Each structure stands twice: as C-alpha cells, then as structure tokens.
Amino acid sequence: MEEQSFALDLLRDYKKQNKRQFIIILIILVMWFCTIGYLVYILNDIGTVEATTTVQQSDAENNNYIGNNGDLTNGTKDNKKD
C-alpha cells in the first residue's frame, strides 16, 4: 500500500475547498445582480403614471368637469369652464 504524503493530502483538500468557495462566490454574485436588476425595475416602475381620459360619446350625455379653480360643472362639453 502506498502512503501519500501529508502535503499531497493538504493540496487535495485545498483544491476541493477552493472549488466550493468559487461556486459560493458565483452564487452570491448572481444573487447580487438579480437584486440590483429588481431594484432598477422597481425604481423605474415608480415613475410610471398611467393617464386615463374619458371621451363623451354624444352631445346628449352629461359629463362632470372639474375646472382649474376646482369648481365642478355638470353638463355637456360645451358647458365646460376652466
């Protein structure tokens, strides 16, 4: 039976340990990039505002209009006050 030297055993152990550390570092980097990507997505999504507009279908329908001064006018689009 051949005996292996202590130095050779240490080198094999270091090789296994380095491989494990490399895999752990890669996993941490992937998680870090995913976190940064998610934060960029969320921060860009905060500034997005959806504008909704209503269009009067015909002149016979009544709509409510809020003018610049805050007054509420109920009537047709010809009655609108700003």
Say which DSSP state 63 is in: E
**For the whole model, what pTM was predicted?**
0.49
Is residue 56 within 8 Å of 63, Cβ to Cβ? Answer: yes
Is residue 72 within 8 Å of 66, Cβ to Cβ? Answer: yes
What are the φ and ψ backbone dihedral angles of 40, each rounded to 5 degrees? -65, -40
- How confident is the chain (82 residues) per 10-residue block, as mean pLDDT? 81 95 98 96 76 57 59 54 51
**What was the pLDDT predicted at 32?**
98
